Amino acid sequence: MEPQPYSLTPEEESRLIDDEFADLLQGYISSNHRKKVDIIERAFRFARSAHDGVRRRSGEPYILHPIAVAKIASREIGLGSTSICAALLHDVVEDTEYTVEDIERQFGKKIAELVAGLTKISGGIFGDRASAQAENFRKLLLTMSQDIRVVLIKMADRLHNMRTLGSMAPNKQYKIAGETLYIYAPLAHRLGLFSIKTELEDLSFKFEHPAEYARIASLIKGSEEKREMVYNNFAAPIHRRLAAMGLTYEAKARVKSVYSIWRKMESKHIPFEEVYDLYAMRIIFDPPEGVGEKEMCYRIYAALTDLYRPHPERIRDWITVPKANGYQALHVTLMGPDGNWIEVQIRSRKMDEIAEKGFAAHWKYKIGGEGEEESELTVWLRTIKDILDDPNPNAIDFLDTLKLNFFSSEIVVFTPKGELLTLPSGATVLDVAYTLHSEIGNHCIAGKVNHKLVPLSRKLNSGDQVEVLTSQSQSPKQEWMSFLSTAKAKTRLRKELRREQMPYVEEGRKIFEKFLEDNHIILNNNVITKILGRYQVQTREELFLKLGSGVASIDDYLNVNTSSGARSLVSRLFRLGFSGLKPKRGSSEKASGDSSPAAEAPQINTHNVYVLHDDGKERNYTLADCCRPIPGDDVMGFLCYDGKVEIHSLTCPHAQKLKASYGDRLLAVKWDNVKSEFIANIRIEGIDRHGILQELAGLISNSLEIDIRRLNIEAKGEVFSCSLDVKVSDTSQVDSLCAKVLKINGVKRADRVK
């Protein structure tokens, strides 16, 4: 993925820019939007002049980026001239001398408002500080409620940045790919931008796991001929039946993306060969005159199930109850002639455009008054209003809560009065309570699901009728957080818990401020960062809560009584060379400027690749407990508060948050000269028989000379499962172990659990 060196003459550059803009215009002219070519040409000339002489990291002229963003907005999202102009001008205010007022004078109020909205959230959603990240994201979502086109153009901007990510430094690639996978892809999903969501996921995966991406892409290509044969055998009878119905339609096979195949392999612990639903068939039809779209979908469904047997548990009717992002289709999974299950998606032409382009496609079908897309967007924004209004200073909580709302499978449940509620899969009775009202959630004691009494932690299924039971004596509990699935419920519970905790927070604040005053310490960002790290909290509020409630004491880590003691402490603990101390009157400059060897933190350049060393006695890194990576894994480094480098697997859920939230502290790393042994967890499954455990243990301990640290085996009926921890040096040893274990008679599966 190394970027190619850039070398074009000025004449070739000028010709390239003209060609790219001509291509943008050609795509716009062939669309169904009103043709406002003049204003687009003016916007292009203005942006080209403003960015004259400026280059991207790849070396190419900067103006090619706005043209590419405008092209994505026009062709792939379906936006019109106003959005194309805003895309061409989206970096002018941020990067040049021009102001929003200049844009308004030249191009009118609407384009200026879009450019202003894009400037407000410039530099990506995430800045360098956690609090700024959350605030910037609020701005993005609040801007959505004013004009969704701002977010759609921002999505086009991110997609082009991902397509050209190869020119960035490795640690920046991790940051941008991480935040893309954590926030932008789910947001694209929520807005119904299926094609863009899929490409963002694939590109993020490609930069984070290049070898695995190449391997799966190669396997997909290698199986193409066989897949095509299976599809043709399956599709031929369907084509004959639909033609006999006189239907105008298009049928095609859609292969799963590399990322979605990898996700299935990881989540189900299966090899590529066992991913049976590699592709789905999609039927897109133009409804005949006098026949409704919904009715035609069911007619096609009836024709398909006459030909093939449907899977009774894999029928999805997204027409009667569309998804929250507007998606409509009828899905049915059929048993093909070769015994493989194949999913068929049935959609009208309109449904297909909305599925691919989301809210933007609604504009094509808008008929007077308030458009469909505004009303749907309003409903969705209403569901996240609580989150936007919540002044929660913890950015990680904020982003986590939003992610719940962006990227979840949906279920539909009913209240006793028949009101329909759409909730994320995994939602509980308590989620329903908080969805109805904060007070109902705060006092919820249990529920009735389909008239049966259940606890408030009970998970719901689609179609359940749910009644919430309350009591005034009930009050919210911290442990409730663990079984909530909706963003609204988590936000409302967190707000109530914080209200109850405020007296402790205020008490903790007083304790902390008194300590600073007694020891003449000036609080700056470096000092507070070190203190938060020492107490293992994310925010000042969490620190004050710990101190005020007595969970932690200021004496635990900061027990000093004299100014010199404070100086010694801060130089040792915070490594700041006393810059955070307030010198007493009369103290010399020399005294306040002294430093000790302990005060000097190791300098690590986050732009360079950090090489991991471990000679068996000393190592220059620590392993994260959350994912236990071993040499050979795709990993990244994270620069901790205390200057240590913590290593995470790139697939670790906690690492996903770090990439999305602390991009300036990420390190690209590589394993080198690591001689220690590591613990790997192996799962083995198979058919039980007498002596299989002895054979397993003998192979691992004796033949392979690998130490077993823990072994747990369980048999149910004729099947056994085994979990064991072994000491290994790297992933190749794990792969070798699993390959040899699979040769034991009866063993059906052996893989590492990450």
Q: Angle, nearest 10°, between helix axes 10-29 and 81-88? A: 160
Residue 134: partners with Cβ closer than 8 Å, 6 or more residues away: 392, 393, 394, 395, 398, 399
Report how far residue 105's alpha carbon sits from residue 98's, in angstroms, rounded to the nearest whole number: 11
What are the residues facing 482 on neighbouring strands? none
Please identify which of the residues 94, 389, 500, 672 carries the catalytic annotation. Answer: 94
Beta strands in 563-655 (DSSP E): 610-614, 622-623, 635-639, 645-649
What are the residues facing 252 on neighbouring strands? 282
Report how far residue 166's alpha carbon sits from residue 164's, in angstroms, rounded to the nearest whole number: 6
Please identify which of the residues 13, 41, 95, 735 carries the catalytic annotation. Answer: 95
Active site residue 94: yes
DSSP track, 541-555: HHHHHHHHTTSS-HH
Cβ–Cβ under 8 Å, residues 535 and 546: yes
Report how far residue 126's alpha carbon sits from residue 137's, in angstroms, rounded to the nearest whole number: 8
Provide the 3-class DSSP secondary structure of residue 608. Answer: coil
Report how far residue 748's alpha carbon sits from residue 751's, in angstroms, rounded to the nearest whole number: 10
DSSP track, 394-424: -HHHHHHHHHHHHS--EEEEE-TT--EEEEE
Q: Is 431 exposed, middle or buried (0-12, 13-18, 19+ CB in 10 A)?
A: buried
Q: Phi/psi of residue 391, each to 5°?
A: -80, 40
Q: Phi/psi of residue 146, each to 5°?
A: -85, -45
Q: Is 128 exposed, middle or buried (0-12, 13-18, 19+ CB in 10 A)?
A: exposed
The pair of structure tokens assigned to 422 is 């759409």
Active site residue 642: no
Q: Angle, nearest 10°, between helix axes 149-163 and 170-179? A: 150
DSSP one-letter code for 619 = B
Known catalytic residues are: 94-95
